[in-house]
Amino acid sequence: MINVVIAGFRGAMGQATVQTVRNQADMKLVAVFDPHATTADMTQLPDDVALWTTDVDVTAADVWIDFTTVEAAYHNAVLAIQHGIHPIIGTSGLTPQQQQELQQQAVTAHLGGLIVPNFGLSAVLLMKFAQEAAQYFPDAEVIEYHHGDKPDAPSGTASATAHLIAKSRQNAPQPTVHNEARGADIDDVPVHAVRLPGLLAHEEVLFGGSGELLTIRQDTMDRSSFMTGVLLATRKVATLNELQIGLDKVL
């Protein structure tokens, strides 16, 4: 049985996590942590879930799942590490220096933990497979598809995928014509962004070799997909012996 405390339990991701953790046979929600919450906020929760509002409350749990704010997340992670609770930080925005400090503290405490920029398992697997395929197929292109309202292009995930492909490949790709129809050139990986109403969030990587193609695609239909990643992290974080970054570290 994994004993879990959730920080940020009143936000959208926190609420979904509370629901999901409670539905697992091998997990127990022992507490929620929120300095600003009162017992009035606990009406939806079972009686045996504790409300921790201060440092001194924090006692026994195995895993600390954090979906708070960038201001709170660093302090919360310090608190978790001090109490020997494995932190899983889903809150985004920690600075590189904050991340390094937390990693140092985790080393000192001999405690594993995870900072997770993306809980989408299909996206994380796509990136992992793309890196592996790039070792054999240096010629690759990325196409990402999002709703027309998305203000930037390409998506952060698509850019990250292109960087990983470039880093992983062992030969240079073949030269091709370059112009605006050929997309953004990210480390010699063309990245194309499609923006249309009706699209949700989709990413596709195409690898071409002599006489063959390999395509890896992922589609995110809604945020419920993130819960699969949260559960995976919760079940595996104790196997780590340092504070690592990325869901792929527990694959």
Here the tokens at position 158 are 């698509």
Number of neighbouring beta carbons within 10 Å of residue 19? 12
Stretch that binds a second copy, among 32-40, 58-66, 75-83, 122-130 (CB under 8 A): 122-130
Dmax (CA) for the chain in angstroms is: 65
Q: Which of residues 52-71 bind a second copy (CB under 8 A)?
A: none
Selecting among 28, 150, 202, 236, the annotated active-site residue is 150
Q: Which residue among 101, 188, 219, 242 contacts a second copy (CB under 8 A)?
A: 219
Q: Which residue among 15, 129, 242, 246 contacts a second copy (CB under 8 A)?
A: 129
Q: What residues contact residue 114 under an 8 Å CB cut-off, 6+ apart? A: 86, 87, 88, 89, 233, 237, 240, 243, 244, 245, 246, 247, 249, 250
Q: Output 53 or 228, the one with its CB closest to a second copy.
A: 228
Question: Binding of a second copy at residue 136 (CB under 8 A)?
Answer: yes
Q: Output 78 or 184, the one with its CB closest to a second copy.
A: 184
Query: Least separation, in Å, of the C-beta of 23 and a second copy?
Result: 12
Burial (Cβ within 10 Å: 0-12, 13-18, ≥19) of residue 219: middle
Residues carrying an active site annotation: 146, 150
